[in-house]
Amino acid sequence: MAWQGTIVFFDLETTGLGVTSCHIAQLAASCENTIFNDYILPRIPFDHGATEVNGLTVSYGQLFLHGEPVRTVPLYSSLQSFIEYLGSFPGPVLLAAHNSRRYDEIVLKRVLEMCSLFEQFKKVVSGFVDTLPLSKKLYPQLKWFNQPYLVRYFLGERYNAHNAVEDAKLLEELFSNCWNPDNDDISEFTDWIYALK
């Protein structure tokens, strides 16, 4: 039986791996061919490793992706728009990301709290699903569980990994078209919002 509600797949690109200190530079989501994508000018420099992975840099107050300037929106505006986007789907809404519990969920919750938007967010989102341990449970025979490997294995394609839109879209495709987990599997790897307080 499919999840009764909506699962929205999301991803963040950030200035580094420190969950308590990194800034979001790209926030993207995908659900049923409806894409959300914002670039945000971070207020701290990118770690060298982050730029190598996501291709994002800042120069003279402008965000660049692989050397091309991108239009940015303020963090607060982006988060407000994201909450509106999530609220446009039939609830209950779950947010799903690969390695959510150790990264995306923590960073997003921190910035929502920082911007005093977490209460508003909780009105539309019921929880976070981590597809990394979910994939390990569903396919324990696989050698690796990083998203680029899973996309190659199940979909037979390579893609622009570490672009938040592509990551979100392909995670949705894996989850919906290849894995089809049942409600028990989804619930097992969901952190419900009321438990996050």
Q: What is the pLDDT along the chain (197 residues), one digit of tens a residue?
A: 456 789 999 999 999 999 999 999 999 999 999 999 999 999 999 999 999 999 999 999 999 999 999 999 999 999 999 999 999 999 889 999 999 999 999 999 999 999 999 999 999 999 999 999 999 999 999 999 999 999 999 999 988 888 999 999 999 999 999 998 999 999 999 999 964 43
**Global confidence as pTM:** 0.95
Would you say residue 196 lies in a domain?
A: no
Would you say residue 134 lies in a domain?
A: yes
Bridge partners (DSSP) of residue 159 are none
Give the per-residue pLDDT at 197: 38
Please name which of 54, 65, 73 lies closest in space to residue 15, comparing C-alpha atoms: 54
Give the per-residue pLDDT at 16: 96
CA atoms within 13 A on the CB side of 184: 2
Would you say residue 50 lies in a domain?
A: yes
Query: What does the DSSP 8-state code read for residue 8?
Result: E
Separation CA 127–CA 114 (nearest Å)? 19
Would you say residue 1 lies in a domain?
A: no
Give the per-residue pLDDT at 28: 98
With beta carbons less than 8 A apart as the criterion, state whether 39 and 19 touch: no
Would you say residue 197 lies in a domain?
A: no
Would you say residue 51 lies in a domain?
A: yes
Enclosing domain of residue 69: 6-191
- In Å, what is the CA distance from 174 to each residue of 34, 118, 159? 16, 29, 13
Total domain count for the chain? 1
Residue 69: what are its φ and ψ, rounded to 5°?
Answer: -65, 145
Would you say residue 167 lies in a domain?
A: yes
Would you say residue 166 lies in a domain?
A: yes
Query: What does the DSSP 8-state code read for residue 4?
Result: S
Neighbour-count burial of 80, counting CB atoms closer than 10 A to its CB (0-12 exposed, 13-18 middle, 19+ buried): middle
Residues 6 or more apart from 105 whose CB is under 8 A from it? 95, 97, 128, 130, 191, 196
The CATH number linked to 169 is 3.30.420.10
Token pair listed for 4: 């009764």
Q: Is the dihedral of CA 137, 196, 173, 147 positive or negative?
A: negative
CA atoms within 13 A on the CB side of 73: 15
With beta carbons less than 8 A apart as the criterion, state whether 74 and 40 touch: yes
